Amino acid sequence: MILHIKNMVCDRCIMVVRQQLENIGLDVGEVNLGTATVNPELNSEQLSLISSQFKLLGFELLDNEKDRVVERIKSLIIEKVHHSDLADTHLNFPQYLSDGLNKDYAYLSRMFSDAEDTTIEKFIIQQKIEKVKELLEYGELNLNEITWKMGYSSSAHLSAQFKAVTGITPSQFKTSEKMSRKAIDKI
Protein backbone atom coordinates (compact mmCIF):
# COMPACT_ATOMS: atom_id res chain seq x y z
CA MET A 1 0.00 0.00 0.00
CA ILE A 2 1.31 3.43 -0.92
CA LEU A 3 0.73 6.27 1.54
CA HIS A 4 0.80 9.78 0.11
CA ILE A 5 2.21 12.25 2.62
CA LYS A 6 2.17 16.04 2.56
CA ASN A 7 5.07 18.24 3.75
CA MET A 8 7.93 15.81 3.21
CA VAL A 9 10.72 18.07 1.96
CA CYS A 10 14.07 16.54 2.89
CA ASP A 11 16.01 13.40 3.75
CA ARG A 12 15.30 13.99 7.44
CA CYS A 13 11.55 13.87 6.69
CA ILE A 14 12.07 10.53 4.96
CA MET A 15 13.91 9.21 8.02
CA VAL A 16 11.21 10.44 10.45
CA VAL A 17 8.36 8.97 8.40
CA ARG A 18 10.17 5.62 8.15
CA GLN A 19 10.77 5.57 11.93
CA GLN A 20 7.14 6.42 12.72
CA LEU A 21 5.82 3.68 10.46
CA GLU A 22 8.28 1.12 11.81
CA ASN A 23 7.39 2.10 15.40
CA ILE A 24 3.77 1.23 14.63
CA GLY A 25 5.01 -2.19 13.59
CA LEU A 26 4.55 -1.91 9.85
CA ASP A 27 6.74 -3.50 7.22
CA VAL A 28 8.08 -0.38 5.49
CA GLY A 29 9.34 -0.56 1.93
CA GLU A 30 10.49 2.41 -0.06
CA VAL A 31 10.10 5.90 1.42
CA ASN A 32 10.53 8.94 -0.85
CA LEU A 33 9.56 12.58 -0.70
CA GLY A 34 5.77 12.44 -0.53
CA THR A 35 5.27 8.67 -0.45
CA ALA A 36 5.85 5.60 1.67
CA THR A 37 5.15 1.99 0.82
CA VAL A 38 3.92 -0.25 3.66
CA ASN A 39 2.74 -3.84 3.98
CA PRO A 40 0.17 -5.18 4.55
CA GLU A 41 -2.84 -3.08 3.51
CA LEU A 42 -3.90 -0.81 6.35
CA ASN A 43 -7.33 -0.71 7.93
CA SER A 44 -9.10 2.54 8.83
CA GLU A 45 -8.00 2.34 12.48
CA GLN A 46 -4.32 2.08 11.47
CA LEU A 47 -4.71 4.93 8.97
CA SER A 48 -6.27 7.07 11.68
CA LEU A 49 -3.39 6.30 14.06
CA ILE A 50 -0.80 7.13 11.40
CA SER A 51 -2.65 10.30 10.46
CA SER A 52 -2.76 11.57 14.05
CA GLN A 53 0.92 10.77 14.66
CA PHE A 54 1.94 12.42 11.40
CA LYS A 55 -0.02 15.58 12.24
CA LEU A 56 2.03 15.98 15.42
CA LEU A 57 5.15 15.97 13.24
CA GLY A 58 3.79 18.39 10.63
CA PHE A 59 2.92 15.76 8.02
CA GLU A 60 -0.48 14.92 6.59
CA LEU A 61 -1.88 11.88 4.81
CA LEU A 62 -3.38 12.76 1.45
CA ASP A 63 -6.50 10.89 0.48
CA ASN A 64 -7.64 12.40 -2.81
CA GLU A 65 -6.03 12.37 -6.24
CA LYS A 66 -5.88 16.16 -6.70
CA ASP A 67 -3.99 16.66 -3.42
CA ARG A 68 -1.63 13.82 -4.33
CA VAL A 69 -0.80 15.30 -7.72
CA VAL A 70 -0.22 18.78 -6.27
CA GLU A 71 2.02 17.36 -3.55
CA ARG A 72 3.94 15.33 -6.14
CA ILE A 73 4.47 18.48 -8.21
CA LYS A 74 5.88 20.20 -5.12
CA SER A 75 8.08 17.21 -4.29
CA LEU A 76 9.55 17.06 -7.79
CA ILE A 77 10.31 20.80 -7.74
CA ILE A 78 11.82 20.70 -4.24
CA GLU A 79 13.91 17.66 -5.09
CA LYS A 80 15.30 19.35 -8.21
CA VAL A 81 15.85 22.84 -6.71
CA HIS A 82 17.20 21.85 -3.30
CA HIS A 83 18.86 18.50 -3.93
CA SER A 84 20.55 18.78 -7.32
CA ASP A 85 22.77 21.13 -9.24
CA LEU A 86 20.63 23.09 -11.69
CA ALA A 87 23.69 24.34 -13.57
CA ASP A 88 24.27 21.03 -15.29
CA THR A 89 20.69 20.34 -16.23
CA HIS A 90 19.39 23.39 -18.15
CA LEU A 91 16.11 22.05 -16.91
CA ASN A 92 12.82 22.66 -18.64
CA PHE A 93 10.50 22.45 -15.61
CA PRO A 94 7.26 22.03 -17.61
CA GLN A 95 8.74 19.05 -19.48
CA TYR A 96 10.29 17.66 -16.29
CA LEU A 97 6.95 17.80 -14.46
CA SER A 98 5.00 16.39 -17.41
CA ASP A 99 7.44 13.50 -17.72
CA GLY A 100 7.59 12.91 -13.96
CA LEU A 101 3.81 12.76 -13.57
CA ASN A 102 2.95 11.45 -17.03
CA LYS A 103 0.38 14.22 -17.47
CA ASP A 104 -0.06 17.26 -19.70
CA TYR A 105 1.61 20.36 -18.25
CA ALA A 106 -1.43 22.58 -18.88
CA TYR A 107 -3.54 20.18 -16.80
CA LEU A 108 -0.92 20.13 -14.02
CA SER A 109 -0.64 23.91 -14.07
CA ARG A 110 -4.41 24.42 -13.74
CA MET A 111 -4.68 21.85 -10.96
CA PHE A 112 -1.78 23.40 -9.04
CA SER A 113 -3.09 26.95 -9.39
CA ASP A 114 -6.57 25.92 -8.24
CA ALA A 115 -5.21 24.16 -5.16
CA GLU A 116 -2.40 26.52 -4.14
CA ASP A 117 -3.52 30.02 -5.19
CA THR A 118 -0.19 30.46 -6.97
CA THR A 119 1.31 29.22 -10.20
CA ILE A 120 3.88 26.48 -10.63
CA GLU A 121 6.28 29.07 -12.03
CA LYS A 122 5.96 31.30 -8.95
CA PHE A 123 6.40 28.27 -6.68
CA ILE A 124 9.61 27.34 -8.54
CA ILE A 125 10.90 30.90 -8.21
CA GLN A 126 10.11 30.95 -4.47
CA GLN A 127 11.94 27.65 -3.99
CA LYS A 128 14.94 28.87 -5.96
CA ILE A 129 15.08 32.12 -3.96
CA GLU A 130 15.01 30.17 -0.68
CA LYS A 131 17.89 28.03 -1.94
CA VAL A 132 19.77 31.19 -2.95
CA LYS A 133 19.21 32.58 0.58
CA GLU A 134 20.63 29.37 2.02
CA LEU A 135 23.71 29.58 -0.22
CA LEU A 136 24.21 33.26 0.63
CA GLU A 137 23.92 32.50 4.32
CA TYR A 138 26.59 29.79 4.12
CA GLY A 139 28.96 32.28 2.50
CA GLU A 140 30.91 29.62 0.61
CA LEU A 141 29.97 30.83 -2.89
CA ASN A 142 29.94 34.29 -4.42
CA LEU A 143 26.92 35.60 -6.34
CA ASN A 144 28.31 34.54 -9.73
CA GLU A 145 28.87 30.98 -8.48
CA ILE A 146 25.36 30.88 -7.00
CA THR A 147 23.97 32.22 -10.29
CA TRP A 148 25.65 29.38 -12.18
CA LYS A 149 24.73 26.72 -9.60
CA MET A 150 21.06 27.71 -9.62
CA GLY A 151 20.84 27.76 -13.42
CA TYR A 152 20.24 31.49 -13.86
CA SER A 153 21.33 33.14 -17.12
CA SER A 154 23.03 36.05 -15.31
CA SER A 155 23.60 37.48 -11.86
CA ALA A 156 21.48 40.48 -12.91
CA HIS A 157 18.55 38.13 -13.59
CA LEU A 158 19.06 36.39 -10.25
CA SER A 159 19.31 39.73 -8.42
CA ALA A 160 16.18 41.11 -10.08
CA GLN A 161 14.19 37.98 -9.24
CA PHE A 162 15.56 37.94 -5.69
CA LYS A 163 14.55 41.57 -5.15
CA ALA A 164 11.10 41.00 -6.66
CA VAL A 165 10.44 38.17 -4.18
CA THR A 166 12.16 39.48 -1.05
CA GLY A 167 12.17 43.26 -1.51
CA ILE A 168 15.95 43.43 -1.04
CA THR A 169 18.99 42.59 -3.12
CA PRO A 170 21.17 39.52 -2.48
CA SER A 171 23.91 41.85 -1.19
CA GLN A 172 21.51 43.48 1.27
CA PHE A 173 20.32 40.04 2.38
CA LYS A 174 23.88 38.86 2.94
CA THR A 175 24.79 41.88 5.09
CA SER A 176 21.51 41.92 6.97
CA GLU A 177 21.58 41.03 10.66
CA LYS A 178 18.19 39.40 10.33
CA MET A 179 18.61 36.99 7.46
CA SER A 180 15.20 35.39 7.23
CA ARG A 181 14.60 32.16 5.43
CA LYS A 182 11.35 30.29 5.08
CA ALA A 183 10.94 26.60 5.76
CA ILE A 184 10.54 24.75 2.48
CA ASP A 185 7.18 23.33 3.50
CA LYS A 186 5.88 26.84 4.31
CA ILE A 187 6.35 28.13 0.77
In this structure, the answer to whether residues 44 and 130 fall within a common structural domain is: no
Q: How many domains are there within the chain?
A: 2
Query: Domain range holding 148?
Result: 65-187
In this structure, the answer to whether residues 104 and 123 fall within a common structural domain is: yes
CATH number of residue 144's parent domain: 1.10.10.60
Residue % of the chain over a pLDDT of 70? 93
In this structure, the answer to whether residues 86 and 154 fall within a common structural domain is: yes
pLDDT of 43 above 80 = yes
Query: What integer is the mean pLDDT of 88-108?
Result: 89
pLDDT of res. 89: 59
In this structure, the answer to whether residues 99 and 179 fall within a common structural domain is: yes
In this structure, the answer to whether residues 89 and 148 fall within a common structural domain is: yes
Residue 9's pLDDT band, with cuts at 50, 70 and 90, is: confident
How much is the mean pLDDT over the chain? 90
CA distances from 94 to 41, 77, 88, 105, 119 (A): 34, 10, 17, 6, 12
Q: Do 4 and 71 form a contact (C-beta atoms < 8 A)?
A: yes
CATH number of residue 21's parent domain: 3.30.70
Q: Is the pTM of this model over 0.85?
A: no
